[in-house]
Structures are given as structure tokens and as C-alpha cells.
Amino acid sequence: MSWTVMGSSGAVNARERAMRALYDEQVSALYAYVARLLGGDLYKAEDVVQETLLRCWRTQDLEEGQPLRAWLFKVARNIVVDEYRLRMTRPQEVNANTWLEDVLTKEAEVDSLLSAMILKEAFQQLSPKHREVLYETYYTGRSMREAGLVLGIPPGTVKSRVHHAVRALRMAMGLTERAEDQSGEKPAWWYTAAA
């Protein structure tokens, strides 16, 4: 950062020298302070420091030699606070790179919420035995054997109930089963013992 003041009169030159001296003494500490206030945004910190020095140039009597460090830091802090307040009162700015991602994320959340509502409604239509085996296997993540121990039934019964519960859940949700399940045709690997 550099400070240049144009002028030809002797008063301007004395004022310019005073400003240069003030700049040399205070700018590095002021810049570090403002950068900390702004969370490390060096570009904004530079703008705030320049605005602070401009206000000092306009309003302060630089020839008196009075200490201005406290005044500079207070003005810089006030500029940062004012800009923050201004940003908070304006509508949120939309980043051109992320607005589409935000919209897609919100749609995905809505889809997820609707799916959860449909699943909950369908789950309530199941029999208590089907609900408990689905809860023990899918929700808690237990194996068929562990679910059988918790429910007090054999693992084979758990497996059968899970199969029928999933089919009932799919039907309650309005999902169709695979084409080969609906047609009643036997899979290619199916054969009878008599053959």
C-alpha cells in the first residue's frame, strides 16, 4: 500500500509530510488489526485501511502532532462493523457458482422427506410381526440370527418374515415387483425333481 497526495502549496506539503509520517508509523499495525477483524480477508482489510486514512486526511488536523493511533483503530473498527451491518440488512447475495447446487440439494431434501413420509405410512400398514422383523434387521442392523435371538424365533422364520414383510412393504408403497415375479414364471434355474 502506498499513499500519494498531490498538491503544490507549502501547506499541502506539510500536511502530506505529516500524513506520510502517520502512515509509516501506523499502517502495518492498523492493517494487521483490520485483517484480524475481517477473518484474514487481506483485500477487504486494505480497502478499510485506505478508507480510514482517507477519513483521517479529511477530518483530522495533522499538523498539531496529536496522537492519532487510537482514533485510527476506532475508525477502522467502525468501518468494519458498518460494512458487516450493511451486509446483514441486504438480501443474501447469490453466488453464481453454487446457487444451482443449493437448489438441487433442497430438492433432494424434499424428495427424501416425501420418501420418508411414504415409507412411514406404508410401514404402519404392515402386521406387527412384519414390523418387528424389519425393525430388528434393517433399522438396528442385526443379523437374522441376532434378530431371532431378540425376537425369540428361529433364524429361518426371521428370514421368511423379512422376505414377506419387504414384499408387503413394497406393495403398500405402490411399488411393483419385478416382471418375472408378477408373471408367475419360474426362473431359468428352476427345475422339478421329476425332470
Question: Percent of the chain at pLDDT above 70?
Answer: 72
CB 80 within 8 A of CB 34: yes
Nearest CA to 19 among 49, 71, 70, 54?
A: 54
Q: In the predicted model, is pLDDT for residue 13 greater than 60? A: yes
The per-residue b/e assignment along 161-173, b for 16 or more CB within 10 angstroms, e otherwise, is: bbeebbebbeebe
Per DSSP, the three-state class of 35 is helix
pLDDT of residue 83: 86
Which range, of 71-80, 145-154, 173-182, averages the lowest pLDDT?
173-182
| pLDDT at 193 (0 to 100) | 46
The pLDDT of residue 161:
92
Residue with the bigger pLDDT between 12 and 79: it is 79
Mean pLDDT for the chain overall: 77
pTM: 0.41
Point out the least confidently predicted range of 70-74, 102-106, 108-112: 102-106
Most confident of 73-82, 90-99, 109-118, 175-184: 73-82
CB hemisphere CA count around 149 (13 angstroms): 4
Question: Which residue in this structure is represented by grid cell 429361518?
Answer: 156
pLDDT for the residue 54: 84
Amino acid 145: pLDDT: 92
Give the C-alpha distances (Å, rounded to integers) separating 78 from 102, 117, 135: 33, 50, 58
Confidence at residue 14, expressed as pLDDT on a 0 to 100 scale: 77
Distance from C-alpha of 153 to C-alpha of 145, rounded to nearest angstrom = 9
Q: What is the band of 153 on the pLDDT scale with cuts at 50, 70, 90? A: very high
Across the range 70-95, mean pLDDT stands at 81
d(CA 82, CA 17) in angstroms, rounded, equals 30
Contact between 143 and 154 under an 8 Å Cβ cutoff? The reply is: no
pLDDT of residue 11: 55
Q: Which residue has the higher pLDDT, 174 or 189?
A: 174
Distance CA 186, CA 195 (A): 15
Q: What is the pLDDT of residue 98?
A: 63
